[in-house]
Structure 1
Amino acid sequence: MSNVASFKLILLLLIAIIGLELLAKRFRLPPAAALIVGGAALAFVPGLPAVALDPELALVVFLPPLLMNGAYYIAWDDFKHHFRGIMLLAIGAVTFTTLLVGYCTHLLLPGLPWGCCFALGAIVSPPDAIAAKAVLERVKLPGKVMVLLEGESMLNDASGLVLYRFAVAAALTGAFSAVDAVANFSLLCIGGVVVGLVIGYAAIKLIKALSEPFLVIITSVLPAWICYIAAEELDVSGVMATVTYGMMLGWHQHDVVSATVRTQGVAFWRVLTFMLESLVFVFIGLSLRGVLDRIGGIERAFSEFAPAVTLVVGVVLISRFIWIFATDSVSALIATFLKKGGFQLDWRAAIIKSWAGMRGVVTLAAALALPTSLPGRDFILVTSFVVILVTVLIQGTSIGWLIALLNMKKDAQGEHVYLTEPQCWALLEAAQFSAVEARAYDSDGKLLHPRLLEQYGYRARISDLHRNAPELPVDARTAHYDIILAAIAAGREALLKLHRSRQLNDEMLHMLERDLDLQEIAAIHSRGD
């Protein structure tokens, strides 16, 4: 396919994405499911050229920015608080699934070498960050469950790809050392974190020195790819490097990025991530044709692989339930023993975590990257594709219904108690009023800005009056000129203090910060800048 033909195909896919998104909305389906089905249908359109997804290119193009996007918005305080639970999923669940899938596959197909069986397990074990984000952002879950799933989806690719690397090497050479695997995994992860910290530090310093909004946005986005590529070139984890940078930028952006840049950057980032996520799922669907061509057609897929593929898919689904219920039960027993209370297992949260195991582009790319000489490559390729289809189309489509059935939105006990939106605004408006009051009089005590003092005093009184209300009254918050910018700065400082002291969660921080950004942009525009 020529470069011009490739560009035309991309344009055609973007048009198809618009139509598929509208269909998904019309029939209330997860867009990821509609895009995969639509891509699969497009793959067999007469006259449309076959699309061969380059696995290395797919990972480099799609994975870094989407990993960074998830890390940028991660609830940092909750991430630290639930780090043990995230690691149990990102490393423990992936390893357990790899071993169980490999063992069961070898029982069914004893002629397939152990290394190939475990390579299959490593390929299908890690839930995909892109698929998880595409599904989870459209459902409402308690904060703890959401942080666990989002944290897992960002970090488990590292463990899955490392296990994949060692399993393939063992299958080709017949040699494997568990000690070497653990040591190398630790070095890969630590090395990736170090690369992310170094590049992140340099990027944040450069962002501080820039003033042009477009340069700041580009400078903040490019390190996602730079971290991934640099880490992979140094033979450490590109996933860990990118996630580390994304978390650093998300933490420091409140201090180093202006309101104008943040507003424009968020708009640009949303469009970019939407296009990349959508193209990922369409390409997964389009790759069905190539998979079938590689194995000799759909007839061979059904006649030779159907029983074994069905078994592996079942093991993939069941293994996650086993691991999550086992680890959650042990955690509940330990908590019961330490607190000397009644045993309480949050079985509803365990069910949701077990069902939220969507696979995606990482699984497909790893399967496509298998050496052609590897025994059982066709079987592994078909199985990987079926696992993606089942988890995205069935789990991704039904998880919203399951959450509603289990009434998960009301089951948020035991989480850290944060301030409500009215309580936050009461504190912010009080800080803004203090800033205006200090600047409303001249050195002789003469009132220079009675209207501003009255306006901010009124807003502070109204916010304080409604601090315990379920919702804030509709109120137009307009701002202008220098004194209002000082008030906004005071409000922003109060907002960050609330967040740093764990009184404010990340979701509320971003929402209130967006309001302050809009006030600041309006003030700067009114001032004539």
Structure 2
Amino acid sequence: MDGTHLFELVIAMFLAIIALHYLAHRLGLPPSVALLTGGATLAFVPGLPAIRVDPELVLIIFLPPLLFDGAWSIAVDRLKRHMFGITSLAVGAVLFTTIVVAVVAHLLMPSLPWAACAALGAIVSPPDAVSARAVLEHVRLPRRLQILLEGESLLNDASGLVLFRFAVAAAATGAFSTVSAVGTFLVLAAGGAALGGMLGFAWVRLIRKLRDDYLMIAATTLLCWIAYLLGEQLHVSGVIATVTAGLIASWHQHTVMSAGTRMRGTSFWAVLVFLMEATVFILIGLSLRDVVDRGGGFGLLVQTMAFPALVILVALVAARFVWVFGSDLAIRFANRIGLARSVPMGGGAATVLSWAGVRGVVTLALALSLPEGFPGRDFILVMSFAVIMGTVLVQGTTLGWVISWAGLGEVEAERSPMTMSQAEAAMAQVQFTKVSELAYDGGGKLIHPQLLKRYEHRATAIVDYAERTADYIPILHAHFDVVLEAVAVGRTELIRLHRSGQIDDETLRELERDLDLEELSAISAKAA
């Protein structure tokens, strides 16, 4: 396929993404499900060339920005607070699931070497960051569960990749050392964290020197790929390096970036991440044709592989349930004998956490990266694809129902010491104090009376609102509804003036930007 046809195919894929997202919205389906099934359907369209995914290229293109975006948006304070639970899922659950799947695969195919069975377990064990984001976007969870799932999806790829590489090496050499595997993982993780830390702080210094919004956004975008590629080149964890750099950049972006840079950067990243996440699911679906061809056709594939795939999928899900519920029981026991004071999740939360382990692009890329002569390669590829399809189509579509069944849909398990209203009141009070200092000239003459009055009223009103929030919510909603109506008619008039030639394009854009900011502020205030 030449470059022109490849570009045409990419454009067609983006058009398919828009259509499938719209269809998912109309049907009330998770977009990931529509994209995956749509891609699988497109794979068999007559005349469409077979899509063969380069696994290394897929990981390099898609994984760094999606990991970085997750690190950028995650709540760092909660990440630190729940690091033990996240590590348990990202390392312990991945290792346990690898062992369970390897044992089940060996029982299903005794002729398959143990190393190949372990490779299959390592391929399907880590829930995918892209799939997790796609599922979590459309459900509401208690904050503890949300941070556990988000943190796990950021870190578990590193443990899965290490286990996979050791399994492949063991299949080639016939030797495996648990001590060596653990030591290598610790070195890779520590090295990745150190590299990510250095790159993150280098980014902070660079951003402070740049004075252009677009240069800052470009430098931030490149940081994710630099961290990942440099980590892989230095033989440390590129995943950990990317996540660490993202966490540091996220922590400092509030002090080194202007409001305009953040707004432009947020808009850019939202579109970039949307296209990348959607493209990943389309590519997974398009890869079905190659899997079917390698399996000897759809009929033969179902006849010979359906039962093993179902057993592997059940074992995978069961292993996660066992680990999560076992961890919760261990916490209860540790609390009872006085070794810990952690709060158990409970049955409902543990069920949701267990059911949310959706697989995706990392599983596919690892399966496709197996060498051609690897024992049981076609079997592993079919099982991996079945796991992706099963977890996305079954768990992805039913997670909302499971959350509702568990009674967690409206739960707020954690609260900050301050509510948003109290924080806003504290901020307004400090602002009023500063304006009070600057409202007078050196001789004590009041030179900014209206400004002082405005900030005094704002501070008083916000403090009153913080104390009587429930009473004010209906009034404020009505207030901002009026503001939104005023913005709408103002925009209509602005466009009329432009279309009639009374104002030029520059005036239109400047005044429209002010209206946009006012509209966003009103929408945000209503949602708060």
TM-score > 0.5 by shorter chain: yes
**1:297-308 mapped onto 2 (5 Å cutoff):** 297-308=297-308
C-alpha distance in structure 2 between counterparts of 1:307 and 1:38, whole Å: 25
Is 2:420 the partner of 1:425?
A: no
The equivalent residue for 2:400 is: 400
Deviations 1:395-454 (A, max 9, x none): 1111112112222144444x3543222222211111111121111111111111111111
Paired with 2:302 and 2:53, the residues of 1 have a C-alpha distance of 23
| Correspondence 1:372-521 to 2 at 5 A | 372-413=372-413, 415-468=414-467, 469-470=469-470, 473=476
Question: Is 1:329–1:345's contact at 8 Å kept on the other side of the alignment?
Answer: no
Unpaired segments ≥5 residues, structure 1:
479-514, 523-529
Q: Secondary structure at the match of 1:467?
A: helix
1: distance between equivalents of 2:105 and 2:190? 32
Q: Which residue of 1 aligns with 2:281?
A: 281
Question: Which whole-Å CA distance do the structure 2 matches of 1:79 and 1:378 have between them?
Answer: 39
| 3-state DSSP of counterpart to 1:466 | helix
Asked whether the 8 Å contact 2:96–2:319 carries over to 1, the reply is yes
| Contact persistence 1:333–1:343 (CA under 8 A) | no
Check whether the contact 1:364–1:385 (CA below 8 A) recurs between aligned residues. Answer: yes
**Native 8 Å contact 2:331 2:344 kept in 1:** no
Q: Do 1:189 and 1:236's aligned partners in 2 also have CA atoms closer than 8 Å? A: yes
State the match for 2:232 in structure 1.
232
The answer to whether the 8 Å contact 1:292/1:298 transfers is yes
2:176 paired residue number:
176
| Contact 2:116–2:375 under 8 Å retained in 1 | yes
Report the equivalent of 1:45: 45
Deviations 1:230-274 (A, max 9, x none): 110111111000000000001010111111101100000000000
Alpha-carbon distance in 2 for matches of 1:131, 1:19: 20
Gaps of 5+ in 2: 484-513, 522-528
Structure 1 pair 342–387 and aligned structure 2 pair: CA distance change class (3 A): closer
Note the alpha carbon deviations across 1:331-362, whole angstroms, 9 max, x for none: 12212332999996511110010000000000
Q: How do 1:146-225 and structure 2 match up within 5 A?
A: 146-225=146-225
Q: Distance between the aligned counterparts of 1:344 and 1:182, measured in 2?
A: 28
> What residue number does 2:338 align with?
338
1:15-74 Cα shifts (integer Å, max 9, x gaps):
111111111111111101110001011111111111111100000000000000000111
**Residue identity in the other structure for 1:465:** D
| Distance (whole Å) between structure 2 residues aligned to residue 132 and residue 210 of structure 1 | 34
User: Number of residue pairs matched?
Assistant: 482
Partners of 2:344 and 2:218 in 1: CA distance: 49
Identity of aligned residues (%): 49
Rounded Cα–Cα distance in structure 2 between residues aligned with 1:185 and 1:423: 44
State how far apart, in whole Å, the 2-side matches of 1:25 and 1:451 are: 48
Contact 2:140–2:410 (CA<8 Å) still a contact in 1?
A: no
The CA distance in 2 between the partners of 1:26 and 1:342, in whole Å, is: 43
How many Å separate the matches in 2 of 1:340 and 1:48? 59
Asked if the contact 1:332/1:345 (under 8 Å) is kept, the reply is no
Q: CA, structure 1 residues 344+364, in 2 after alignment: closer, same or farther (shift >3 Å)?
A: closer
What is the rounded CA distance, in whole Å, between the counterparts of 2:337 and 2:349 in structure 1?
21
- Partners of 1:216 and 1:388 in 2: CA distance: 37
Distance 1:364 1:439 in 2: 61
RMSD over equivalenced CA pairs, Å: 2.1
CA–CA distance in 1 between the matches of 2:345 and 2:64?
A: 36
| Counterpart residue number, 1:502 | none
The equivalent residue for 2:507 is none
Q: What is the Cα deviation at residue 368 of structure 1?
A: 0.3
Which residue does 2:350 correspond to in 1? 350
Query: Matches of 2:353 and 2:412 in 1, distance apart?
Result: 14
Residues 344 and 273 of structure 1: CA distance in aligned 2, closer, same or farther (over 3 Å): closer
Paired residue type of 1:312? I
Q: CA deviation at 1:518?
A: 5.7
1:291-302 superposed matches below 5 A? 291-302=291-302
